[in-house]
Amino acid sequence: MSAVPLPSRHSETKLRRLNSEYVEAFLNSDVDWYERHLASDFRCILPDGSLIDRARFLAETRQAAGMKAFDVEDVTVQFEGDTAIVQARTVYEKADGGRGQSLYTDVWIGRDGRWQALLAHITAVSAGS
């Protein structure tokens, strides 16, 4: 297992691009993108606290996101060795008119010479936050 090169300005740019692509894949139900970028042991913690594995995440991605608007704000990228942590806030409006916000953390790991998403954690933000 070979790691990606040590973090650099280029690495931050790469992770920001991957973050944007991750969001686009969600909005467009792009399972192929996730197939290429999720680690084999990927896990996701959903806003309701349930934990799903890669297979279930891919199955759920096949369903339309149903968003009328979806904005990503306050993206940060941190590195520790061959691990990157991407955090951001989302502000969205669902197709049915429901509005909300969430915070997410994605953990990326340098594995097999590329960045792979290892963990996603999504937290719903209450209206007063």
DSSP 63: S
Look at residue 23 in the predicted model and tell me its pLDDT: 97
Give tens-digit pLDDT for 7-56: 555 789 999 999 999 999 999 999 999 999 999 999 999 999 999 999 99
Query: Per the structure, how many domains does the chain have?
Result: 1
How far apart CA 65 and CA 122 sit, in angstroms, is: 15
- Which CATH number is 41's domain given? 3.10.450.50
97 in a structural domain: yes
Structural domain containing residue 31: 9-125
In one-letter notation, the amino acid at residue 19 is N
pTM: 0.88
pLDDT value at 63 more than 90: yes
**Residue 129, burial from CB neighbour count under 10 angstroms (0-12, 13-18, 19+):** exposed
> SS3 string of 87-111?
EEEEEEEECCCCEEEEEEEEEEEEE
Average pLDDT over every residue of 99-105: 97
In one-letter notation, the amino acid at residue 36 is R
Task: Find where tokens 């669902």 sit.
Answer: 94
